[in-house]
Amino acid sequence: MSQMILPSQVEQAPELAEVSHDEWLRMYELMVKIRAFEEQVNELYLSGKMPGLAHLYIGQEAIAVGVCQALRPDDYITSTHRGHGHCLAKGASVDRMFAELLGKAPGYCHGKGGSMHIADPDSGNLGANAIVGGSTGIATGAALSAKMRGTDQVAVCFFGEGALGQGILYEVMNMASLWKLPVIYVCENNQYTEYTPYREVLAGDILARPRAFGIHAEEVDGQDVRAVYVASRRAVARARGGEGPSFLLCTTYRYLGHHVGDIDRSYYRSKEEEQRWRSERDPLKILAGWLMRQKIADAQILEEINQRVREEIAAGVQFALEAPYPDPNEVDQHVYA
Query: Which of 186, 89, 67, 73 lies closest to 124, judged by CA?
Result: 73
Helix (H, G, I), strand (E, B) or coil at 9: helix
Strand partners, 88: none
Q: Which does 190 bind (CB under 5 to 8 A by kind): other proteins, a second copy, ligand TPP, none?
A: ligand TPP
- From the CB of residue 1, how many other CB atoms can be counted at a distance below 10 Å? 10
Question: Which C-beta is closer to ligand TPP: that of 113 or that of 160?
Answer: 160
Core vs surface per residue 104-113: b (16+ CB within 10 A) or e: bebbbbbbeb
Helix (H, G, I), strand (E, B) or coil at 188: strand
Is position 192 an interface residue for ligand TPP (rule: CB under 6 A)?
Answer: yes
- From the CB of residue 214, how many other CB atoms can be counted at a distance below 10 Å? 15
| Stretch of residues binding ligand TPP (CB under 6 A), selected from 140-148, 155-163, 263-271, 326-334 | 155-163
Question: Which C-beta is closer to a second copy: that of 179 or that of 255?
Answer: 179
Q: What type of residue is 35?
A: R
Instruction: Please give the residues from 54 up to 93 whose contact with ligand TPP meets the rule CB under 6 A.
Output: 55, 81-82
| Backbone Cα Rg of the chain | 19
Stretch 107-146: interaction string toward ligand TPP, x if CB under 6 A: -----------------------xxx--------------
Would you say 145 and 126 are in contact if contact means Cβ atoms under 8 Å apart? Answer: no
In the list 113, 114, 141, 160, the residue contacting Mg ion (rule: CB under 5 A) is: 160
Q: What type of residue is 110?
A: H
Is position 211 an interface residue for a second copy (rule: CB under 8 A)?
Answer: yes
Shortest distance in whole angstroms from residue 42 CB to other proteins: 16
Stretch 65-84: interaction string toward other proteins, x if CB under 8 A: -----------x-x------
Q: Contact residues for ligand TPP (CB under 6 A)?
A: 55, 81-82, 130-132, 160-163, 190, 192-194, 258
